Structure 1
Amino acid sequence: KDRLEKMKNFALEELHKMQLESLQKFGVDFENWMSEKKLRQEGILEEALSYLAEAKCTYENDDAVWFCSSKFGDEKDRVLIKSDGNPTYFVPDIAYHLTKYQRGFDTMIDVLGPDHHGYVPRLKAAIQALGLDVNKLEVVYLQHVNLFSGGKQVKMSKRAGKIVTMDEVIDEVGKDAARYFFIDRRPSSHLNFDLELAKSASNENPVYYIQYAHARISSIRKKAKKAKINLKNFDTKLLRKLTLNEETEP
């Protein structure tokens, strides 16, 4: 048992380390991480359940403890503690959101998959039952990303272990291109990520076009500095006077 626990902890630490490295490689840094294990160890689950009970928002039925979420707009009540005495996965989520409010955040953003729309009403119900401001919660739904290479969709399968990691995408197209294409669509819209387009050095690739424009602007700034021209007071409306092809084309 001890060996299994050590193996489990080792695997969790290594996976967490891999996630951190991938995020940093992508240019995303998280200041705080909260594990479910910590919620359990610090008794936050029991604290959340106690608050709900004190608010008279729980009841027992069929040897289980239920949350009367239907009072707060959910389609039906939800089980908190199963008949075997174990909490459902909903309880740690309630506890986690309780800590978000306790830590004093003004806005709490939940990023969920497209198949989790039905989960939000019960979560908002729990927040209201705890006497907290539900308007502080913002939910963002992320749609799936389809990778394309050579004009064909890259097929992936979790069962077969055939996946493409974020690291592999960054290694192939670069961080700038990866970041641009991921924010080029609304989170709720499907994204077809064309790896060949992201790597191409042509005006069809928006990242290349932006980088080229940046290089041109940097060159202008250097020339202006050399000529002792102050660009801080430059009137950008004057750019509209550039109408000739040789003035506007790259």
Structure 2
Amino acid sequence: MKQKLGTASYSNIYTEALNMMMDVIKKELKLFGISYDNWFFESSLLAEDQISEAIARLDACGVLYEKDGARWFRSTDFGDEKDRVLVRSNRQTTYFAADIAYHLDKYQKGYDLIVNIWGADHHGYVARLRAAVSALGLDADKLHVVLVQFVNLYEGGQKTAMSTRGGQFIPLSAIRKQIGSDAMHLFYMMRKYTQHIDFDVELAKSQSNDNPLYYLQYAHARICSVFRQMEEQGYDYSVDTAELGNLDEAEARALMKSLLRYSSILSLAAETREPQVLLEYLRELATDFHSYYNRYRFLVEDEGLRCARLVLAAAVRCILFNGLTMLGASAPERM
């Protein structure tokens, strides 16, 4: 096609098509609540000759050799299972050479931490990339590769067959339109990224306790309803008049213990980069609140006890709101 159209025409069509595709991708990601600060194009590596620069730097380190007309990287010296080709016998560089240049660019920008998010099928690629980073004299400990397992999509109780090779897939936009961004965010975080996820569309749309989004949002809305009822019944709410010593019920103590765990849970989720830790905590907190709510009345005549229970409810509402927000979901006041 390039020969038929000519270099200039082909380049114009290519650029226009690329821009159209990127506009669609960016628009959909924005609707999903995702925004990237920077988009990196592999073509920039070629335009700026960064691939040749990376290969030359490896050569200067004495880790390349010639074999069968190709240039090889002696990656086995750095823990890889076999050596890797960087330049084929036809003088074309490999994808691996481009990946090395890309990561060299990242290191040259001075980042303290470099995180790659890959599909689990790329697990065999980790060793060779870390080998290249080490061979370049860079700190391989700065590079963290997160291997994410696949998601199985279920609709109507049936697993949906998808294949990238066969062109069979369901776009993100189609699922988002069915269940909304809130549900998608939480369902993707129901399990650790190293585990397979069975994404049940019907469950995501259901109003049941098994749906984590509904369960958490309902707990938040329930607390908001209590405070609306307080105003409707003409009660005042003051932290100063709350007699917290009256919160001696077993359910209240369990709820307060759950609240005290929030800070450590946030730290753990951030340090391990595992948001499902926060999601699971919020579900436990909501369970503790529902248990307390179902057994005790909040709007009692005793002002000190009433305000104490409302203080406890307000604390739970605050954490549910903050937690849902951090997980990319909304916290409605009415449901």
Give TM-score scaled by structure 2 length.
0.68
Q: Percent identity?
A: 42
Give the Cα–Cα distance (whole angstroms) in 2 for the partners of residues 245 and 168 of structure 1.
38
2:253 pairs with one of 231, 240, 243:
240
Other structure's SS at 1:188 match = coil
Other structure's SS at 1:174 match = helix
1:135 pairs with one of 138, 141, 153:
141
Check if 1:168 corresponds to 2:174: yes
Give the letter for the 2:213 counterpart.
V
Give the Cα–Cα distance (whole angstroms) in 1 for the partners of residues 98 and 200 of structure 2.
38
Look up the match of 1:34.
40
Check if 1:68 corresponds to 2:74: yes
Check if 1:230 corresponds to 2:245: no
Of the two, which has the highest radius of gyration?
2
Q: Which runs of 5+ in 2 are unaligned?
A: 1-5, 255-290, 298-335
| Cα distance, 1:88–1:218 mapped onto 2, change above 3 Å | same
Check if 1:198 corresponds to 2:204: yes
The CA RMSD over aligned residues, in Å, is 2.6
1:148 pairs with one of 129, 150, 154:
154
8 Å contact from structure 1 (residues 224, 230) kept in 2: no
Look up the match of 2:101.
95
Shift of 1:19: 1.7
Give the Cα–Cα distance (whole angstroms) in 1 for the partners of residues 105 and 223 of structure 2.
46
Give the letter for the 1:203 counterpart.
N
Give the letter for the 1:201 counterpart.
Q
Look up the match of 1:177.
183
Shift of 1:54: 1.0
| Cα distance, 1:30–1:237 mapped onto 2, change above 3 Å | farther
Shift of 1:155: 2.1
Check if 1:47 corresponds to 2:56: no
Give the letter for the 1:141 counterpart.
L
Give the letter for the 2:55 counterpart.
L
Other structure's SS at 1:59 match = strand
Give the Cα–Cα distance (whole angstroms) in 2 for the partners of residues 37 and 245 of structure 1.
60
Give TM-score scaled by structure 1 length.
0.89
Check if 1:211 corresponds to 2:224: no
Give the Cα–Cα distance (whole angstroms) in 2 for the partners of residues 243 and 46 of structure 1.
65
Give the letter for the 1:36 counterpart.
E
Give the Cα–Cα distance (whole angstroms) in 2 for the partners of residues 170 and 219 of structure 1.
28
| Cα distance, 1:147–1:244 mapped onto 2, change above 3 Å | closer
Structure number with the higher helix fraction is 2
Aligned length: 247
Q: Which runs of 5+ in 1 are unaligned?
A: none
| Cα distance, 1:42–1:221 mapped onto 2, change above 3 Å | farther
Give the Cα–Cα distance (whole angstroms) in 2 for the partners of residues 220 and 212 of structure 1.
12
